[in-house]
Structures are given as structure tokens and as C-alpha cells.
Amino acid sequence: QVTLVESGGGSVQAGGSLNISCTASRSVSSYCMAWFRQAPGKEREGVISMLFGTDVTYSSDSVKGRFTVSQDAAKNTMNLQMNNLKPEDSAMYYCAADSRMCLSGSWSRFQSYPYWGQGTQVTVSS
């Protein structure tokens, strides 16, 4: 069992930056760790993922070049640096974990992840 806790959300103007974090209750080495987001009335969307302990990452086209994921293995923490934020990035951001490795064709399917955090809100104003 893994407990995930997100932190660092908030409000920012368009073009600004935010960093949010996800801390796991225990080691998630070799886990597929991912960030999803969900705006009101929309389906949960895969944003970015990483195979924890490696430099393997996948991201959605909508955030490429703007969002970067990193890790602190000693703290069991995954960080999401979001730059050049847009109003359409506004959503609840969720951290997710799966003990299986990330695959390019399936990392963004939210049904694949058994472990979820409670979410942190990101709001971008125009």
C-alpha cells in the first residue's frame, strides 16, 4: 500500500509558474509515477509520468516544453515544475502510482493506477 500526498498548488496569472510535489509514504523505486489533472466537467487527463529512479518520462502534447517532472528519491518525492501556465491548465492535479513500469502507450490511462493522492488545485487566471 502506498499513500500519496500532493502539495504546492495555488493561483497564478497566465505566463507564471508553479511547482507542485507528491510525496509517497514509502519507496516507489521502479514505480510508474504520474500526474493527472481534472477540470470541472472534464475527464481525468494524463499530464506527465516518470519511471521513478530513472530518467524515463512521458508527457502529453499539451504540456511539452512547459512542464517538467523531477524526483528526489531520498524523500520519495516527485515534483512537477509548471512554466508558462495557461488558463486551460487550471484543474485539480492528482498524483498517481502504479508498481508496474510506465509504458508509452498506456501511462495516461487513469484506470491503470491503483494509488492516488487527494489532489491539489491549480488555478491560472488570464
The residue behind cell 502529453 is 60
CA separation, residue 29 to residues 39, 50, 55, 101 (Å): 30, 11, 12, 10
Tell me whether strands 4-7 and 18-24 are parallel, antiparallel or unpaired: antiparallel
- In eight-state DSSP terms, residue 84 is S
14-35: string of b/e by CB count within 10 Å (b at 16+)?
eeeebebbbbbeeebeebbbbb
State residue 84's pLDDT score.
98
pLDDT digits (tens, 9 = 90+) for 8-56: 999 999 999 999 999 999 999 999 999 999 999 999 999 999 999 999 9
Q: List the one residue out of 3, 15, 11, 1 whose CA is nearest residue 120.
A: 11
Backbone φ and ψ of 26, nearest 5°: -155, 180
- pLDDT of 67-105, one tens digit each? 999 999 999 999 999 999 999 999 999 999 999 888 888
Contact of 30 with 41, CB cutoff 8 Å: no
pLDDT digits (tens, 9 = 90+) for 111-123: 999 999 999 999 9
Mean pLDDT, rounded, for 105-114: 94
